[in-house]
């Protein structure tokens, strides 16, 4: 389901952007994005939990541990994953080349890659592209960078929030790519969030962890975890206010705005799921613990039978409770309840009348709806957003080489 996108101008003080074609995708397709902070920024990052990590993920994680960065280099069309020492050398060389071109340390450059796995990133294309990207850097080119990050994405994903901190205006902007290989635990994607807020690295890490928990760790499309998942936040302090902490009033406002940006991006990723026609919010209540609720929500949201029922507008509560049952958590079958967009199709383990089920089916024909499940075992709750599973997904992924 393609969302309408208005590419209104977005600027974040102290940041410049570029999106260029370096030849990885062929032709004039944009495939290299550069985000540059004119001054050193504090940085926090979260990365894939897949044990098979791409070379740029390993290098970016190492650089992020220093707590500062000044550039994010993102190529699309080639994941540079499972490429051994050769892939690592190209990623390191790209950081070095970017550092030279910008006059900064190569350790302040964070490399990210997305695309086909098992092919070494072409060094010549990267060198040519980096030089072109540095020349093209512009404070008003955020959308070009967002376009250059895309692989199978139907549209660029950008979200912004503005807030006041200590009488100063603060801007948060996020760029993301992701449409396939989406699963909880940083759902397969690349995300770069930039802000002119002033935040020390330890506080920024805390803000990031909290925001990811309610956004990218709360979505799924196909249950596959990528080799390249990366979420980065850079804060350059250009707004000039006092440093933010999680305990301060300004910090709480910033945390809410950051979560809002990431949740908007996460919703776009699900809406752009490969072949997806519907976006579904799976809400689980009445679990013994929040962790148990998350397990059940992920089980339901990841079930192929449930997702195909979503596509067919079939209020098949049997598939839903089956997925809840094999999640391996405590529940009370005789107390189970299921609502579809408020229509109660199962109450205390008893099915609703046929005319009620037909109302639920009508609700499922919309492109967004909610499935709420009550486990009857406690007060734990969790939410996962997912998509339907369609013939288009199968056609696309049987033809697309990863």
Q: Which residues are catalytic?
A: 188
The 3-class secondary structure across 6-57, one letter per residue, is CCCCCCCCCEEEEEECCCCCCCCCCCEEEEEEEEEEEEEEEECCCCCCCHHH
For CA atoms 170, 178, 311, 302, give the dihedral sign. Answer: negative
Q: Where are the alpha helices (DSSP H) in 303-343?
A: 304-311, 317-325
Sign, Cα dihedral of 28, 32, 33, 36:
negative
DSSP-based three-state secondary structure for 100: helix
CB distance 231 to 149 below 8 Å = no
Which residues, other chains included, contact 211 with Cβ-Cβ below 8 Å and sequence gap of 6+? Answer: 255, 258, 259, 261, 262, 263
Cβ contacts of residue 277 below 8 Å, gap of 6+? 1, 311, 367, 387, 388, 390
């Amino acid at each position: 389901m393609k969302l309408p996108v208005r590419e209104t101008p977005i600027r974040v003080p102290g940041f410049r952007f570029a999106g260029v074609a370096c030849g990885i995708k062929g032709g004039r397709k944009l495939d290299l994005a550069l985000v540059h902070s004119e001054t050193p920024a504090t940085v926090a990052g979260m990365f894939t939990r897949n044990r098979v990590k791409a070379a740029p993920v390993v290098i970016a994680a190492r650089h992020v541990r220093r707590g500062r960065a000044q550039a994010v280099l993102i190529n699309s069309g080639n994941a540079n994953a499972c490429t051994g020492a050769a892939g690592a050398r190209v990623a390191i060389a790209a950081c070095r080349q970017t550092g030279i071109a910008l006059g900064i340390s190569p350790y302040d450059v964070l490399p990210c890659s997305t695309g086909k796995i098992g092919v070494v990133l072409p060094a010549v294309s990267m060198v040519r592209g980096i030089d072109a990207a540095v020349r093209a850097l512009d404070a008003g080119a955020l959308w070009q960078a967002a376009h250059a990050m895309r692989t199978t994405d139907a549209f660029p994903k950008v979200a912004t929030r503005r807030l006041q901190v200590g009488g100063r205006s603060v801007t948060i902007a996020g760029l993301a790519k992701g449409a396939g290989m989406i699963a909880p635990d940083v759902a397969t994607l690349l995300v770069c969030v930039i802000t002119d807020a002033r935040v020390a690295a330890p506080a920024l890490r805390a803000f990031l962890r909290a925001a990811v928990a309610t956004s990218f760790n709360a979505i799924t499309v196909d249950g596959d975890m990528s080799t390249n998942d990366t979420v980065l936040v850079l804060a350059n302090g250009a707004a000039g206010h006092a440093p933010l902490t999680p305990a301060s009033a300004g910090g709480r406002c910033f945390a809410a705005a950051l979560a809002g940006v990431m949740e908007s991006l996460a919703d776009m990723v699900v809406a752009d799921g490969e072949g997806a026609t519907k976006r579904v919010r799976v809400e689980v209540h009445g679990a013994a613990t929040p962790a148990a609720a998350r397990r059940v929500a992920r089980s339901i949201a990841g079930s192929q039978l449930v997702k195909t029922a979503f596509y067919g507008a079939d209020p098949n509560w049997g598939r839903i409770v089956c997925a809840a049952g094999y999640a391996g958590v405590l529940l009370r079958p005789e107390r189970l309840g299921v609502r579809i967009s408020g229509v109660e199709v199962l109450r205390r383990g008893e099915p609703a009348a046929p005319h009620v089920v037909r109302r639920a089916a009508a609700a499922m024909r919309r492109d967004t709806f909610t499935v709420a499940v009550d486990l009857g075992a406690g007060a734990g709750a969790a939410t996962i957003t997912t998509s339907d599973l369609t013939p288009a997904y199968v056609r696309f992924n049987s033809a697309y080489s990863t």
